[in-house]
């Protein structure tokens, strides 16, 4: 019984940690999406995989053209 309780408590802590990390990611995502500065994220081949709305408005390119392009538009 003690082993099962220990396992249950460890699992509960993991669930709480995952929930906190998920909330932090959501907060960061919201902050980046609402930033007035352009934010671009590229993969290792320098292809843009994420751009916030400010990147589109400051560059004049629609999001569809930004994603998949290189930062050297």
Q: Hey, what are 48's tokens?
A: 């843009």
Q: Residue 57, CB half-sphere, CA atoms under 13 Å: how many?
A: 9
Whether pLDDT at 29 is above 90: yes
In this prediction the pTM is 0.71
pLDDT band, residue 73 (cuts 50/70/90): low
Distance CA 14, CA 16 (A): 5
Six token digits for residue 8: 């249950």
Three-state DSSP state, 50: strand
């Amino acid at each position: 019984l003690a082993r099962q309780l220990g396992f249950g408590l460890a699992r509960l802590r993991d669930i709480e940690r995952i929930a906190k990390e998920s909330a932090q990611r959501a907060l960061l995502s919201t902050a980046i999406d609402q930033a007035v500065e352009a934010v671009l994220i590229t993969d290792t081949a320098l292809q843009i995989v994420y751009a916030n709305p400010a990147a589109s408005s400051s560059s004049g390119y629609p999001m569809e053209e930004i994603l998949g392009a290189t930062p050297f538009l």
